[in-house]
């Protein structure tokens, strides 16, 4: 599979369609009409708006907790334990850095130089994924060096592998436990929800109190974010091993242990590797965020370039992250495919394979030795490639921003006036109780009683954070951005599904959009649109659209070709085939795309706060930036979690109710 992160856990579970029963949308229109009527009379009352720098007693109470935590540093057992852990992480991480990335004193270079690192990486990738992947891996590593970011790239790899290693060591047993116990599932699911939806900015500061700064804090933050995908997806894989298979093997008298190790885990292997793949991708997406607490790696040049407005320089570092993501994605994917084909092929060629590995392993060791001995093999030669790429990108970006900014301002003003402002007016300027009732009513129409109950709980939670108004403003932006994402997803997804050549061209672009750190394209977006809510929406669409497009394309490709042929033979035009056959039959994929689009857009809330969107994103950054507002940041984080759970559950219930599965 390609780079498709699955969040909110819904990705792999069956999801159906929303729009089957006409009464549903009729009810929706009725709710909307009633809402607008009530809003017209009550507009502006009880909106619970809080000034940008306002805070409440609850927020100050949270802030007090942080103060207490700092004061208790000497006596707090948990902090002592994490302190020891942090020292351990720092020394292992420091050792790894000196091994491959940073000068190992008194040597002016790491223990193993670039040639040795590439040789070992090539050998490993050949062993687990085959020679095609080896070419990709070697090319990727060479480009890190050629772009002048060898050290930072390896630092990022170290943090990523370190965090992923811990995530797997903890996550896989958790997944097994979750798959075998309903109680554990019930208890863990909300924890995983929180880990995946709470913005990293919220926990970065507390994390530094426990883990200090630098590599340990970076590893801890990355681990927290990367844990959930592997637990969810692996548990799902284990759980979906067919009941009939289990019954059959149970009847042979196996023990529970045998059942797990010899039946469930091997049969779920492919799904588990998908989970690992997603965990690696999630870990990599933290590279820039980790740099906010001095985490080593590629995030540092990105953030520094940002403060000096050097778009080109930021792009080069961001591009290395994209290369790394594609490299790791393709490698883990190929490894899972290979594991299957080798298993199927049986014992053939095993001997030859082993001889090849032994010989190439010896060659790799010779190169490692060279890279320890000779400076040319240790230190990547300086090239101007990085700075020329940066200069080219900079001038390209300058040209685009100075040429198109008049047009883009117009687009921004139109979308804001026609879509964003009216919706925000309705959501945020309604009295809070009216908006709450209306949202709960929509949840009832879409998701039934259970959807409505979840929404009710989440809305109550949002109310309790004292950030109701900001939450409604954020919700508005999320809805508008998701709408744009879905328009793009349907148009490009259909195009990709019908034309393989389009698919081939677009996929790498989508991968880049999804893995390029948003900090890289914030400056051009700001120069085009200014610090506005619309800029935040643009950034969110760039990040969220690729996932949705891929899901729609895959959904449409999944429509049986015979059905399409039959429709064509019956004289349907291409337009009729798309609108009457392909799109309706790919409903499952569309709903899944909407669900993932919502969650990906929501996860960009904090980035939006950095470019003028205000609301919960701004509150989160404020909490991270200023001590006295720490508690407001925590409250904003909680509100984002409630919004995320509400949007995820309601769309999922809606899907289940209409019963159209994806698979």
Partner 1 sequence: MKRPIKRTPALAAAAVGALLVLSACGGGDIEQSGSDSGAGGDDSQAAECGDVNMAVNPWVGYQASAYVVGELAASEFGCTVEYRDLKEEVSWAGFSSGDVDVVIEDWGHPDLEKQYFAKSGDGSAEDFGPNGNQGVIGWYVPPWLAKEHPDITDWENLNQYAEDFATSESGGQGQFLGSDPSYVQFDEAIVKNLDLNFKVVFSGSEAASIAAFKKAEENKEWLIGYFYEPQWFMSEVPLVKVDLPPYDPGCQEPASAADCDYPVTELKKIVSTEWADSGSPAVEVVKNFEWTNEDQNAVAAMISSDGMAPEDAAMQWIEDNPDKVEGWMPS
Name residues contacting partner 1, limited to 12-51 (CB under 8 A): 51
HSE of 385, CA atoms in CB hemisphere, 13 A: 16
Q: What does the alpha-carbon distance between residue 520 and residue 313 come to, in Å, rounded to a whole number?
A: 9
Query: Do 447 and 431 contact (CB within 8 A), yes or no?
Result: no
Instruction: Rank residues 281 and 302 by Cβ distance to partner 1 and give the closer one.
Output: 302
| Closest approach of partner 1 to the CB of residue 619, in Å | 9
Tell me the number of residues near partner 1 by CB under 8 A: 95
Q: Which of 71, 87, 384, 565 binds partner 1 (CB under 8 A)?
A: 71
Q: Which of 523, 539, 599, 646 binds partner 1 (CB under 8 A)?
A: 523
Q: Burial level of 158, CB count in 10 A (0-12/13-18/19+)? A: buried
Instruction: Rank residues 415 and 590 by Cβ distance to partner 1 and give the closer one.
Output: 415
Task: Establish if 417 lies at the interface with partner 1 (CB under 8 A).
Answer: yes
Q: Which of 530, 558, 567, 585 binds partner 1 (CB under 8 A)?
A: 530
Q: What does the alpha-carbon distance between residue 398 and residue 443 come to, in Å, rounded to a whole number?
A: 45
Structure letter (DSSP) for residue 43: T
Instruction: List the Cα angle 617/636/67 in 5-degree steps.
Output: 115
Using the contact rule CB under 8 A, the part of the chain among 183-191, 206-214, 434-442, 556-564 near partner 1 is 206-214
Q: Which of 31, 202, 324, 622 binds partner 1 (CB under 8 A)?
A: 622
Q: What does the alpha-carbon distance between residue 400 and residue 406 come to, in Å, rounded to a whole number?
A: 11
Reduced 3-state DSSP string for 299-361: HHHHHHHHHCCCHHHHHHHHHHHHHHHHHHHHHHHHHHHHHHHHHHHCCCCHHHHHHHHHHHH
Using the contact rule CB under 8 A, the part of the chain among 20-28, 299-307, 439-447, 539-547 near partner 1 is 299-307
Instruction: Rank residues 33 and 355 by Cβ distance to partner 1 and give the closer one.
Output: 355
Q: What does the alpha-carbon distance between residue 173 and residue 556 come to, in Å, rounded to a whole number?
A: 36
Q: What does the alpha-carbon distance between residue 629 and residue 645 come to, in Å, rounded to a whole number?
A: 25
Q: Taking CB under 8 A as the criterion, which residues in 547-586 touch partner 1? A: none
Task: Establish if 291 lies at the interface with partner 1 (CB under 8 A).
Answer: yes
Instruction: Rank residues 224 and 522 by Cβ distance to partner 1 and give the closer one.
Output: 522
Task: Establish if 260 lies at the interface with partner 1 (CB under 8 A).
Answer: no
| Closest approach of partner 1 to the CB of residue 599, in Å | 22
Q: Which of 614, 631, 637, 644 binds partner 1 (CB under 8 A)?
A: 614
Instruction: Rank residues 632 and 657 by Cβ distance to partner 1 and give the closer one.
Output: 632
Instruction: Rank residues 338 and 450 by Cβ distance to partner 1 and give the closer one.
Output: 338
3-state secondary structure of 626: coil
| DSSP element (H, E) containing 495 | helix 468-498
Q: What does the alpha-carbon distance between residue 207 and residue 46 come to, in Å, rounded to a whole number?
A: 36
| Closest approach of partner 1 to the CB of residue 188, in Å | 29
Q: Which of 21, 25, 33, 107 binds partner 1 (CB under 8 A)?
A: 107
Task: Establish if 318 lies at the interface with partner 1 (CB under 8 A).
Answer: no
Task: Establish if 405 lies at the interface with partner 1 (CB under 8 A).
Answer: yes
Using the contact rule CB under 8 A, the part of the chain among 17-25, 300-308, 565-573, 575-583 near partner 1 is 300-308
Task: Establish if 389 lies at the interface with partner 1 (CB under 8 A).
Answer: no
Spell out, one character per residue from 334 to 363, where the chain touches partner 1: x when CB under 8 A holds, - when not.
-----x--xx--xx--x--xx--xx--x--
3-state secondary structure of 86: helix
Using the contact rule CB under 8 A, the part of the chain among 21-29, 244-252, 301-309, 595-603 near partner 1 is 301-309
Q: Which of 62, 150, 380, 618 binds partner 1 (CB under 8 A)?
A: 618
Helices (H), 558-629: 561-569, 574-576, 583-585, 587-602, 605-609, 615-625
| Closest approach of partner 1 to the CB of residue 370, in Å | 9
Q: What does the alpha-carbon distance between residue 587 and residue 593 come to, in Å, rounded to a whole number?
A: 10
Query: Do 2 and 507 contact (CB within 8 A), yes or no?
Result: yes
Task: Establish if 112 lies at the interface with partner 1 (CB under 8 A).
Answer: yes
Q: What does the alpha-carbon distance between residue 40 and residue 44 come to, in Å, rounded to a whole number?
A: 9
Structure tokens at 200: 């990293």
Task: Establish if 527 lies at the interface with partner 1 (CB under 8 A).
Answer: yes
What string of DSSP letters covers 376-389? HHHSPPP-SHHHHH
Q: Which of 402, 560, 563, 573 binds partner 1 (CB under 8 A)?
A: 402
Instruction: Rank residues 10 and 300 by Cβ distance to partner 1 and give the closer one.
Output: 300
Q: What does the alpha-carbon distance between residue 566 and residue 581 come to, in Å, rounded to a whole number?
A: 10
Using the contact rule CB under 8 A, the part of the chain among 106-114, 156-164, 226-234, 252-260 near partner 1 is 106-114
Q: What does the alpha-carbon distance between residue 178 and residue 176 come to, in Å, rounded to a whole number?
A: 5
Structure tokens at 54: 């306002």
Q: Taking CB under 8 A as the criterion, which residues in 121-160 touch partner 1? A: 123-124, 127-128
- Please provide the distance, in angstroms rounded to a whole number, between the alpha carbons at the two ends of the chain: 16
Task: Establish if 375 lies at the interface with partner 1 (CB under 8 A).
Answer: yes
Q: What does the alpha-carbon distance between residue 513 and residue 319 come to, in Å, rounded to a whole number?
A: 10
Using the contact rule CB under 8 A, the part of the chain among 406-414, 506-514, 549-557, 635-643 near partner 1 is 406-414
| Closest approach of partner 1 to the CB of residue 626, in Å | 6
Task: From 441, 623, 432, select the one nearest 32 (Cα to Cα).
Answer: 441
Query: Do 235 and 6 contact (CB within 8 A), yes or no?
Result: no
Task: Establish if 268 lies at the interface with partner 1 (CB under 8 A).
Answer: no
Using the contact rule CB under 8 A, the part of the chain among 116-124, 188-196, 245-253, 457-465 near partner 1 is 116-124
Instruction: Rank residues 364 and 583 by Cβ distance to partner 1 and give the closer one.
Output: 364
Q: Which sign, positive or negative, has the C-alpha torsion 120, 148, 153, 317? A: negative
| Closest approach of partner 1 to the CB of residue 540, in Å | 14
Q: Which sign, positive or negative, has the C-alpha torsion 566, 570, 573, 578? A: negative
Task: Establish if 399 lies at the interface with partner 1 (CB under 8 A).
Answer: no
Task: Establish if 521 lies at the interface with partner 1 (CB under 8 A).
Answer: no
Task: Establish if 106 lies at the interface with partner 1 (CB under 8 A).
Answer: yes
Structure tokens at 162: 């370190």
Task: Establish if 526 lies at the interface with partner 1 (CB under 8 A).
Answer: yes
| Closest approach of partner 1 to the CB of residue 389, in Å | 13
Task: Establish if 7 lies at the interface with partner 1 (CB under 8 A).
Answer: no
């Amino acid at each position: 599979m390609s780079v498709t992160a699955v969040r909110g856990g819904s990705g792999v579970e069956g999801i159906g369609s929303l729009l089957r029963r006409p009464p549903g949308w009729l009810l929706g229109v009725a709710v909307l009409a009633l809402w607008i009527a009530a809003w017209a009379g009550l507009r502006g009352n009880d909106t619970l708006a809080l000034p940008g720098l306002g805070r409440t007693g609850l927020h100050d109470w949270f802030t007090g907790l942080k103060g207490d935590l700092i004061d208790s540093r000497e006596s707090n057992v948990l902090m002592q334990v994490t302190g020891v852990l942090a020292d351990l992480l720092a020394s292992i991480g420091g050792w790894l850095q000196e091994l491959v990335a940073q000068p190992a004193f008194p040597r002016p270079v790491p223990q193993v130089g670039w040639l040795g690192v590439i040789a070992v990486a090539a050998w490993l990738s050949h062993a687990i994924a085959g020679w095609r992947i080896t070419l990709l891996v070697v090319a990727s590593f060479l480009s890190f060096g050629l772009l002048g970011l060898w050290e930072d790239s390896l630092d990022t790899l170290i943090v990523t592998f370190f965090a992923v290693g811990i995530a797997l060591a903890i996550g896989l047993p958790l997944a097994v436990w979750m798959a075998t116990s309903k109680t554990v599932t019930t208890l863990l699911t909300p924890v995983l929800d929180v880990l995946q939806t709470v913005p990293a900015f919220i926990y970065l500061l507390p994390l530094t109190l426990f883990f200090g700064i630098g590599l340990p804090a970076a590893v801890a933050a990355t681990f927290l974010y990367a844990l959930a995908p592997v637990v969810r997806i692996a548990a799902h894989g284990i759980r979906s091993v067919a009941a009939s298979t289990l019954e059959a093997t149970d009847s042979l008298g196996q023990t529970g242990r045998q059942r797990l190790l010899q039946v469930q885990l091997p049969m779920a292997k492919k799904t588990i590797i998908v989970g690992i793949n997603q965990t690696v991708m999630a870990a990599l997406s933290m590279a820039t965020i980790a740099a906010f607490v001095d985490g080593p790696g590629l995030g540092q040049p990105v953030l520094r370039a940002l403060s000096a407005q050097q778009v080109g320089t930021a792009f080069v570092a961001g591009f290395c992250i994209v290369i790394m993501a594609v490299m790791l994605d393709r490698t883990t994917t190929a490894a899972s495919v290979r594991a299957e084909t080798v298993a199927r092929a049986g014992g053939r060629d095993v001997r030859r394979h082993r001889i090849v590995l032994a010989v190439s392993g010896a060659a790799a060791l010779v190169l490692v030795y060279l890279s320890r001995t000779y400076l040319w093999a240790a230190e990547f030669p300086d090239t101007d490639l990085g700075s020329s790429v940066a200069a080219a990108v900079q001038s390209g970006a300058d040209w685009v921003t100075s040429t198109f900014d008049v047009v883009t301002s117009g687009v921004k003003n139109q979308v804001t006036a026609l879509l964003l402002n009216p919706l925000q007016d309705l959501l945020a300027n309604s009295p809070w109780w009216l908006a709450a009732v209306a949202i709960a009513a929509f949840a009832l129409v879409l998701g039934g009683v259970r959807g409505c109950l979840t929404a009710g709980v989440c809305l109550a939670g949002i109310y309790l954070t004292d950030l109701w108004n900001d939450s409604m403003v954020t919700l508005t932006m999320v809805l508008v951005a998701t709408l744009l994402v879905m328009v793009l997803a349907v148009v490009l997804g259909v195009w990709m599904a019908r034309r393989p050549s389009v698919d081939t061209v677009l996929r790498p672009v989508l991968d880049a959009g999804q893995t390029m750190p948003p900090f890289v394209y914030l400056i051009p977006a700001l120069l085009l649109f200014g610090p506005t809510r619309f800029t935040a929406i643009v950034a969110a669409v760039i990040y969220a659209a690729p996932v949705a497009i891929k899901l729609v394309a895959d959904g449409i490709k999944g429509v049986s070709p015979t059905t399409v042929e039959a429709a064509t033979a019956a004289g349907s035009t291409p337009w009729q085939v798309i609108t009457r056959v392909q799109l309706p039959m790919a409903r499952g994929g569309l709903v899944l795309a909407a669900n993932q689009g919502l969650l990906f857009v929501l996860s960009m809330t904090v980035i939006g706060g950095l470019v003028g969107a205000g609301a919960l994103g701004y509150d989160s950054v404020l909490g991270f930036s200023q001590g006295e507002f720490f508690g407001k940041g925590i409250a904003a984080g909680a509100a984002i979690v409630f919004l995320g759970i509400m949007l995820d559950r309601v769309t999922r219930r809606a899907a289940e109710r209409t019963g159209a599965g994806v698979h």
